[in-house]
Amino acid sequence: MLRSLYIQNYALIEKLDIDFGSGFSVITGETGAGKSIILGAIGLLLGQRADVKSIRRGAAKCVIEARFEIAGYGMQPFFEENELEYEDECIFRREVYASGKSRAFINDTPASLVQMKELGEQLIDVHSQHQNLLLNKEGFQLSVLDLLAHDEDELSKYRSLHREWKQVQQDLEQLVALSEKNKADEDYIRFQLEQLEDAHLAVGEQEELEQEADTLSHAEEIKAGLFRAGQAMNSDEGGLLSVLKECLNTMAGLQKVYPAAGELAERLESSYIELKDISQEVSGKEEEIEFNPARLEEVNGRLNLIYTLQQKHRVSTVDELLALADDYAAKLSNITSSDEQIETLKARSEALYNKVKRQAAVLTGLRTAAAREVEKQMAARLIPLGMPNVRFQVEIGARKEPGAQGADTVNFLFSANKNGALQNISSVASGGEIARVMLSVKAMIAGAVKLPTIVFDEIDTGVSGEIADRMADIMQEMGDSDRQVISITHLPQIAARGRAHYKVYKQDNETETNSHIRRLTDEERVGEIAHMLSGATLTDAALNNAKALLGIV
């Protein structure tokens, strides 16, 4: 439960530090004194969006910190899953900077707003006046049934099945759309593939053909060059080989009288052998080269086919054309097999849908039983709140298609009068009646869910007198059930029932206005409640009435 709240530089609050106790407490104060500011600060702790305009003028940042006692509420799993340090006292802190930056901490460890919100929802429920509108929201009504049905495990199982079913449906829709598109393109894809296959392309073919085309185009020039080179080496008169042979013989003849000539002779012989081999190869190459216009035309035709395909498909290599052919072949294969895949997915979708419907039926059964219990409890709670002829009915309908929360629609029907027709609660209930219904719903939920702290922000709007006493009974009863209940109220009947009484007030100085909150003493409570009864003028009758409300003899 909420043990303390610290606020610094938030709106009209320069600094506020207040402790709270267990049971039923009340907060009072004039309109505009700052009660809503305190609730806004708590909202920041629960992950609400920060507004830099809420920072007190002239301050660099605002800080809101709350301490919660969480021992005995089984919250260790949350801390373990989020890698946060668990202690019996949990500290929430939010810092909002004038620059727009915001930081959040749980037990002094940086935390995300999602984590703050998730944990905060398990620690405190703040019921503001606008939440009465939730009574007309089907999602809220359904969540009330689920809380009282204790169907968390079955609902989790349903959601898992529903997500899987929706994913299969999505996959099926995508496959059908792709299959239809591919079938529309099948003739085009088949034509492109056949054209590429008919070309009988081979890896490395283009480079070889381009080289052959160059050779054939310059055949005469190449042959003439090889002939000249051969003549230069083999000519009987002045040819390179004959001259070299003569040099070799000369050196060989000198080696008897000049030993150094022997080494030179060996080198010349090696060169002669190499050059003779080159000469023979040149001659062979010359014989191989011939001008072949027919072959050149054939090679150029083949290259033109390759270049045309590359230009058509906007690629630059044969490898890319071969990869494109593989892609077309794969698409045709998919077109052929898509019908089988579609049928497989249809069967899987149908099987999952049947599972979803069966699990939805389980939820419907649990919710129907919970609905009857809700009707009984709401009637029992509302009759003492000045509605002797109240009728409250939970109408459960069926959706056309199972949704994320099941196959049920829920509608709270209400009538406060004997002759009144049951209608949607927001259509027929007055503001005071809605407030009483909402308090009853919250009390019913509190009995089913172990929520440490509940804050009511003027839930008593539109009621007075004996009804206010009955509403105070309910809140006091909730506070006596190992739960902390804090009610912000303008009614003296409710204010007098609190175990602790806090007052919010404003003080002005020469330059600014500050909001404060403090716990009232027993004597101060008499005066505060008397003012709530009589207004600004404090009368003896009001004081006596306040004492009577407080049970002071």
Assign residue 458 the CATH number of its domain: 3.40.50.300
Query: Is there a single domain that holds both residue 110 and residue 193?
Result: no
Rounded CA separation 106/114 (Å): 12
Query: Is there a single domain that holds both residue 194 and residue 75?
Result: no
Q: Tell me: the pLDDT tens digits for 431-453?
A: 778 888 888 888 888 777 777 88
Query: Is there a single domain that holds both residue 10 and residue 105?
Result: yes
Burial 439-470 (b: 16+ CB within 10 A, else e): bbbbbbbbeeeebbbbbbbbbbeebeeebbbb
Do residues 408 and 397 touch, judged by C-beta distance below 8 A? yes
Q: Which residue has the higher pLDDT, 5 or 256?
A: 5
- Angle formed at CA 406 by CA 402 and CA 409, multiple of 5 degrees: 90
Residue 38 token pair: 């305190």
Residue 376 lies in a domain: no
- Judged by DSSP in three states, 491 sits in coil
Query: Is there a single domain that holds both residue 117 and residue 213?
Result: no
Tokens 């405190």 label which residue? 124
Residue 59 lies in a domain: yes
Query: Is there a single domain that holds both residue 86 and residue 209?
Result: no
Q: Tell me: the pLDDT tens digits for 382-402?
A: 888 888 888 899 999 998 899
Residue 15 lies in a domain: yes
Rounded CA separation 74/89 (Å): 13
Domain final residue pick, 270, 305, 332: 332
Query: Is there a single domain that holds both residue 98 and residue 193?
Result: no
Residue 145 lies in a domain: no
Domain final residue pick, 289, 304, 332: 332
Q: Which residue has the higher pLDDT, 446 or 118?
A: 118
Q: Which residue has the higher pLDDT, 126 or 363?
A: 363
Q: Report the 10 Å Cβ neighbour count for 506.
A: 14
- Report the share of the chain in percent with pLDDT over 90: 36
Residue 495 CA to its chain's centroid (Å):
44
Count up the domains in the chain and report the number.
2
Residue 90 token pair: 């949990």
Residue 2 lies in a domain: yes
- Residues of the domain holding 481: 1-127+452-520
Report, as an integer, the average pLDDT of 203-215: 90
Q: Report the 10 Å Cβ neighbour count for 552.
A: 13
Q: pLDDT class for 123, splitting at 50, 70, 90?
A: confident
Query: Is there a single domain that holds both residue 309 and residue 210?
Result: yes
Residue 357 lies in a domain: no
Rounded CA separation 92/107 (Å): 7
Rounded CA separation 168/161 (Å): 11
Report, as an integer, the average pLDDT of 482-496: 89
* 500, pLDDT greater than 90: yes
Mean pLDDT across the chain, nearest whole number?
A: 87
Do residues 11 and 19 touch, judged by C-beta distance below 8 A? no
Residue 363 lies in a domain: no
User: Lowest-pLDDT range, 62-71, 184-193, 209-218?
Assistant: 184-193
- Pairing verdict, β 484-488 and 23-28: parallel
